[in-house]
Amino acid sequence: MAGRSARRPVTRYRAGEVDRRVDTLAVEEPLEIRVDGEPFTLTMRTPGDDVELAHGLLRSEGVITSREDVQVMRYCSDTTTLNVLDVALTRAPGVPLSGQRNLASYGGCGLCGSSTIDAVAERVLLGSRVEHADVEVDPAAITRALDGLREAQTLFAKTGGVHGAAVASAQGEVLHAREDVGRHNAVDKVLGRLVLDDAPPAPLLVVSSRASFEIVAKAAVAGVSVLACVSAPSSLAADAADQLGLTLVAFARDDRLTVVTSPERVRQGAADAPAAS
């Protein structure tokens, strides 16, 4: 397994001038996850936090519901790199394994937006999600969490080439933050940390990307109450958040945000807003 960053010579053109220099790039390598010795999925990721990634991914797919469902997780000794992770389960998985990722297979024939959301809803029920109907956050807390995520993104500061995700308290205090070249991987890593810690669902998840259906699905299965993304939502992400009871916040940046679904969890007005003159 390589490090998280690598150096590479580049030639930069700026304002008619040529500058030859060495840039820092984010490392991208494959990770194969096997369940009980059988291939389950292959993902391209930034090396590091692989065990968290696998726990978060298997939790979101309904294969496990807690860390007790995993007997052991280790890198395969029959490979020359640390890019194959084998998971031995302690019991039968909640959703039968098909040899491929379930969420990634939703684009096949005969499926539509409603069927994808229904499949996620089954995973939410399987995990006995703790409801957070009484969770409320104010816009200032969301801004605080996003500021905390940016401060934690040390690899992004060096490379500009990774996404970040963080779980935070209802007051916007970042509890855990992770980075990865894949935005879904970053989410799996940070939610996987909660699985490993036997921690309760996080009230708030912030992500440095757009709001996709898969990120909404992962947040819902993990019992997150409020998901805030810095960019736009897709139509299916909004539909899924609405039907799954998740508060989806988009365009959360520069003290601005747009509440797309379940606005009752976001207080009107920011607690830190300046008084009108």
Give yes or no for residue 113 having a pLDDT over 90. no
189's CB contacts (< 8 A; 6+ apart) are 49, 52, 53, 56, 165, 178, 180
Identify any residues that bridge with 6 across adjacent strands, giving them in sequence order: 25
Roughly how many angstroms between the first and final C-alpha of the chain, as a whole number? 57
Average pLDDT value for residue range 136-152: 96
Q: What percent of the chain has pLDDT over 70?
A: 83
* pLDDT, averaged across the chain: 86
Quick one: pLDDT at residue 269? Answer: 59
Residue 27 pLDDT grade (very low, low, confident, very high; cuts 50, 70, 90): very high
Residue 130 pLDDT grade (very low, low, confident, very high; cuts 50, 70, 90): very low
Give CA–CA dist 256/238, Å, rounded: 18
- The pTM for the full model equals 0.86
Active site residue 109: yes
The topology (CATH level 3) of 139-265 is: Cytidine Deaminase; domain 2 (3.40.140)
- Residue ranges of the domains in the chain? 29-102, 139-265
Structure confidence by residue, pLDDT tens digits, 167-215: 999 999 999 999 999 999 999 999 999 999 999 999 999 999 999 999 9
State the CATH architecture for 29-102: Roll (3.10)
Q: Which of 76, 109, 112, 229 is catalytic?
A: 109
Largest CA distance in the chain: 69
Q: What is the CA radius of gyration of the chain?
A: 19
Residues within the annotated binding site?
251-256
With left for phi above 0 and alpha for psi between -120 and 50, is residue 262 left, alpha or beta? left
